[in-house]
């Protein structure tokens, strides 16, 4: 039971912190939604990658070149690092003399010390982080130690392409930096999330191999099963976490994509992979609104 439970938490953190896993001739997760007025391309992305994931399929690059607007969850190229640091200081750290240790059970505290030692991270560097910020920090460190970089992420790739003079495009954000940070700061039961994340990080490399295999084969059903179905069927208590991190946001993002489909234009939308697949994913939500959505 512990293995399955920690696998669930790891899936959540990997989806939010890792990379798109396709290249060259890989099928990838790529859709086209059409209305009478507009075309919207939907590109599945996660946010860390390495050079082996490039080049992308020619069909993907062509669709991007033909689109006048790039739509992303967040434009990381214009993120104000000072504003981000200020948000962390205001919402993500302890300010009254408390530390993360004060909010943890003895068992979780012991796990945290072991994980910090494994990652070569000094406790003094993270002691003031609240659980949600600490989960993101440790997960990102783990991923980078596996050889992945946010600078090579798929969203970063398209943002860089969009900014080039000969390919200049309008860039639209679906969310704000504060909204994304609040996802983890206000997560239900942050101590539980941290505890399970500490257990699960040992499985990061193996789980990535599964995700890569499913993505390269373009197997939407197996990916959805891996990310959502198994975990939620076995652990309904975690549904509030998934609602906050995925399903509620899917509804909000679908509404914005719906508005695009009711305007003239061609849009290239890059969102996290977990937002596209499954019965509560953006693809199915658009189909329920009557749009034709085709896998490319």
State residue 229's pLDDT score: 73
Residue 123 falls inside a structural domain: no
Residue 88 falls inside a structural domain: no
State residue 20's pLDDT score: 41
Q: With the C-alpha atoms ordered 136, 285, 19, 160, is the resulting torsion angle positive or negative?
A: negative
Residue 254 falls inside a structural domain: yes
Residue 133 falls inside a structural domain: no
State residue 139's pLDDT score: 83
State residue 37's pLDDT score: 95
Split into its structural domains, the chain has a count of: 1
Q: Rounded CA gap, 120 and 142, in Å?
A: 10
Domain span at residue 214 reads 2-78+149-295
> Given 3-state DSSP classes, what are the helix, strand and coil percentages for the chain, each rounded to the nearest 5?
60, 15, 25
Burial zone of 105 (CB within 10 Å; 0-12 exposed, 13-18 middle, 19+ buried): exposed
Q: Which residues of 246-261 are buried (b: 16+ CB within 10 A; e: fewer)?
A: bbebbeebbeebbebb
The span from the first CA to the last CA of the chain, in angstroms, equals 38
Residue 17 falls inside a structural domain: yes
- By the 8 A CB rule, do 228 and 118 touch? no
Q: How confident is the prediction along the chain (296 residues), in pLDDT tens digits per residue?
A: 444 444 555 555 555 554 444 445 556 689 999 999 999 999 988 677 777 778 888 999 999 999 999 999 989 888 777 888 888 888 889 988 899 999 899 999 999 999 999 999 999 999 999 988 888 888 888 878 878 788 888 888 999 999 886 677 899 999 988 888 888 777 767 777 788 778 777 777 777 667 777 767 777 888 888 777 766 777 676 788 788 888 999 999 999 999 999 999 999 999 988 899 889 999 999 999 999 999 99
Provide the whole-model pTM: 0.86
Residue 140 falls inside a structural domain: no
State residue 123's pLDDT score: 94
State residue 223's pLDDT score: 80
State residue 26's pLDDT score: 56
Q: Rounded CA gap, 59 and 177, in Å?
A: 31
Residue 44 falls inside a structural domain: yes
State residue 172's pLDDT score: 96
Q: With the C-alpha atoms ordered 204, 224, 178, 40, is the resulting torsion angle positive or negative?
A: positive
State residue 86's pLDDT score: 86
State residue 49's pLDDT score: 74
Residue 49 falls inside a structural domain: yes
State residue 14's pLDDT score: 56
């Amino acid at each position: 039971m512990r293995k399955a439970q920690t696998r669930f938490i790891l899936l959540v953190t990997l989806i939010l912190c890792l990379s798109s896993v396709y290249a060259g001739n890989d099928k990838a997760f790529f859709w086209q939604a059409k209305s009478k007025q507009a075309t919207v391309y939907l590109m599945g992305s996660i946010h860390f990658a390495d050079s082996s994931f490039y080049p992308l399929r020619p069909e993907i690059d062509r669709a991007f070149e033909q689109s006048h607007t790039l739509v992303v969850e967040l434009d990381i190229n214009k993120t104000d690092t000072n504003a981000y640091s200020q948000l962390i200081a205001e919402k993500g750290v302890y300010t009254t003399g408390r530390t993360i240790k004060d909010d943890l059970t003895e068992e979780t505290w012991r796990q945290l010390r072991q994980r910090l030692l494994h990652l070569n991270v000094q406790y003094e560097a993270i002691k003031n982080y609240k659980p949600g910020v600490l989960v993101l920090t440790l997960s990102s460190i783990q991923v980078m130690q596996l050889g992945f970089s946010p600078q090579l992420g798929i969203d970063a790739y398209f943002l860089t392409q969009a900014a080039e003079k000969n390919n200049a495009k309008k860039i639209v954000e679906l969310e704000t930096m504060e909204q994304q940070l609040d996802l983890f700061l206000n997560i239900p039961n942050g101590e539980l999330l941290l505890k399970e994340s500490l257990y699960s990080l040992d499985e990061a490399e193996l789980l990535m191999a599964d995700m890569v295999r499913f993505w390269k084969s373009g197997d939407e059903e197996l990916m959805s099963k891996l990310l959502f179905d198994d975990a939620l069927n076995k652990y309904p208590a975690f549904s509030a976490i998934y609602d906050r991190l995925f399903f509620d946001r899917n509804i909000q993002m679908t509404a914005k994509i719906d508005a695009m489909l009711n305007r003239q234009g061609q849009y290239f939308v890059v969102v996290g992979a977990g937002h596209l697949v499954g019965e509560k994913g953006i693809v199915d939500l658009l189909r329920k609104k009557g749009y034709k959505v085709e896998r490319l």
